[in-house]
């Protein structure tokens, strides 16, 4: 029994041990298989997770990061390049477009001590960026040239491209004059004034019975002509004395109207000459003027120059030097006292004079002695020269007279003389503008 029991127990023990060994062997084999399968499964799982979606996501993330980094680098580079280009363009444009001999400091290859751009390195991700300055200088030079071209072009561009350049007041910074067109409203106003002025002249010519509207004289000469004594009108030892002349040297087709003495004081003459805008010069004698100084004061206020024709209208060559000087200088005093100015132009009565006349006139402040080349009346013209015609610069004489002396009035005389002057293509100019 013991043997049987012992045999059975041993067999059971062996079976139990064998089962355990098989179980351990199977477990070991399963562990080894699991270990072999786990890396493969993990790898395939990782591949499935990583690809394709995760791979694309990672690429996008990496690309975005790289793009932003590149943009920051490029922005930094562009900002520095643009700032350097603007500085260079501004300096060079100022020298090219405005200044003459403007000095623009240049940056040395190593960077001048006073040049901020030379001391401050360009930002970048690596050391090589700071070393690549040669191509950058080329780019900056191109930007500078473009800036200069645009700056010079803008200074002379049309109003459509730079409206503020036309409308901005103040002097132009360039070396030349800055031409600005006046506002259209100002041009319209000026044109309207011209139209109104001409219309007034047309109406005045019709009202005063002129066949034609008087021609307008050109602008006074910028340089007044040099006046010399007319040949044949000289006096002995007359050098340095006031010139005696009948015509003003000019190529302008103008003549000069002068009125002598002051006997007739017709208010209609003042109105007529003012409305027609015909300039004239008066030569006054005190013995006639003193009866009504106010009339000639009104004439002066209308723009007429009052000149000297002696106190009493004598025949001067028959007087001594002292007597002539009293006549001339005495009238100078009267005109200065009554009208506030001392004349520099004198006409001797009847056109007669000698050396003492000119000496006395010069001592009284006289600088010119105009006579005349034609004389006007209400119904005729008298001529000094044989061709009986007008010439550029001719001086025309007439007098303050009325019906008591003429066959007509002073307006009649003006109508006649203006008919002759206008028909021959001449305008009446102001004598003082040429003396």
DSSP annotation string for 197-262: HHHHHHHHHHHTT-SSPPPPPPPPPSSPPPP-PPTT---TT-TTSPPEESB---SSSEEEEEEEE-
Whole-number Å distance between alpha carbons of 370 and 243: 8
User: Tokens 């002995």 — which residue?
Assistant: 236
Helices and strands: H and E segment counts in the chain: 13, 9
Contacts for 264 with CB less than 8 Å, ≥ 6 apart: 399, 400, 401, 402, 405, 410
Cis ω for the linkage preceding 132 (within 30 of 0): no
CB atoms within 10 A of CB 238: 16
Provide the residue-wise pLDDT of the chain in tens; the chain has 435 residues.
333 434 444 444 455 545 554 555 555 455 554 445 454 444 444 444 344 444 454 455 455 555 565 566 465 555 555 555 554 554 554 444 444 444 444 444 444 444 444 444 444 444 444 444 555 554 555 454 454 444 444 443 333 344 343 344 444 444 445 555 567 788 888 888 888 888 999 999 999 999 999 999 999 999 999 999 999 999 999 999 999 999 999 999 999 999 999 999 999 999 999 999 999 999 999 999 999 999 999 999 999 999 999 999 999 999 999 999 999 999 999 999 999 999 999 999 999 999 999 999 999 999 999 999 999 999 999 999 999 999 999 999 999 999 999 999 999 999 999 999 999 999 999 999 999
Whole-number Å distance between alpha carbons of 291 and 57: 117
Helix axes 293-301, 321-339, angle to 10 degrees: 70
Please determine, looking at this structure, whether the domain spanning 192-433 carries the CATH number 3.20.20.370: yes
Residue 216 contacts residue 200 (beta carbons within 8 Å): no
Instruction: Give the torsion sign (CA, 183, 188, 194, 197).
Output: negative
Q: What is the pTM of this model?
A: 0.59
Where does 318-385 show beta strands of DSSP type E?
A: 369-370, 374-376, 381-383
């Amino acid at each position: 029994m013991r043997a049987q029991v012992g045999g059975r127990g041993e067999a059971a023990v062996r079976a139990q041990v064998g089962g355990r060994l098989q179980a351990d062997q199977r477990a070991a084999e399963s562990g080894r298989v699991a270990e072999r399968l786990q890396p493969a499964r993990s790898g395939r799982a990782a591949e499935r997770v990583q690809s394709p979606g995760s791979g694309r996501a990672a690429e996008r993330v990496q690309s975005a990061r790289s793009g932003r980094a590149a943009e920051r680098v490029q922005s930094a580079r562009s900002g520095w390049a643009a700032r350097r280009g603007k500085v260079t363009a501004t300096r060079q444009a100022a020298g090219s477009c405005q200044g003459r001999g403007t000095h623009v400091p240049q940056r040395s290859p190593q960077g001048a001590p006073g040049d901020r751009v030379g001391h401050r390195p360009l930002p970048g991700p690596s050391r090589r960026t700071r070393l690549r300055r040669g191509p950058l200088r080329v780019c900056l030079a191109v930007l500078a040239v473009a800036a200069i071209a645009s700056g010079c072009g803008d200074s002379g561009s049309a109003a459509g491209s730079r409206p503020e350049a036309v409308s901005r007041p103040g002097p132009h910074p360039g070396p030349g004059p800055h031409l600005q067109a006046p506002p259209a409203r100002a041009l319209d106003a000026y044109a309207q004034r011209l139209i109104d002025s001409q219309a007034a002249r047309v109406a005045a010519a019709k009202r005063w019975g002129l066949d034609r509207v008087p021609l307008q004289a050109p602008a006074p000469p910028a340089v007044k002509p040099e006046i010399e004594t007319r040949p044949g009108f000289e006096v002995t030892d007359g050098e340095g004395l006031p010139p005696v002349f009948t015509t003003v040297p000019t190529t302008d087709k103008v003549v000069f109207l002068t009125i002598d003495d002051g006997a007739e004081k017709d208010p209609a003459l003042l109105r007529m000459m003012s409305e027609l805008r015909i300039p004239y010069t008066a030569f006054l004698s005190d013995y006639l003027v003193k009866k009504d100084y106010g009339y000639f004061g009104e004439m002066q206020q209308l723009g007429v120059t009052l000149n000297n024709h002696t106190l009493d209208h004598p025949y001067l060559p028959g007087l001594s030097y002292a007597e002539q000087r009293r006549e001339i200088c005495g009238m100078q005093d009267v005109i200065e006292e009554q009208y506030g100015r001392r004349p520099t132009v004198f006409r001797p009565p009847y056109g007669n004079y000698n050396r003492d006349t000119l000496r006395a006139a010069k001592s009284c402040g006289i600088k010119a002695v105009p006579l005349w080349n034609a004389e006007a009346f209400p119904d005729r013209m008298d001529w000094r020269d044989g061709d009986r015609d007008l010439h550029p610069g001719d001086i025309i004489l007439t007098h303050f007279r009325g019906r008591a002396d003429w066959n007509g009035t002073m307006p009649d005389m003006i109508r006649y003389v203006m008919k002759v002057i206008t028909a021959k293509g001449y305008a009446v100019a102001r004598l003082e503008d040429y003396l």
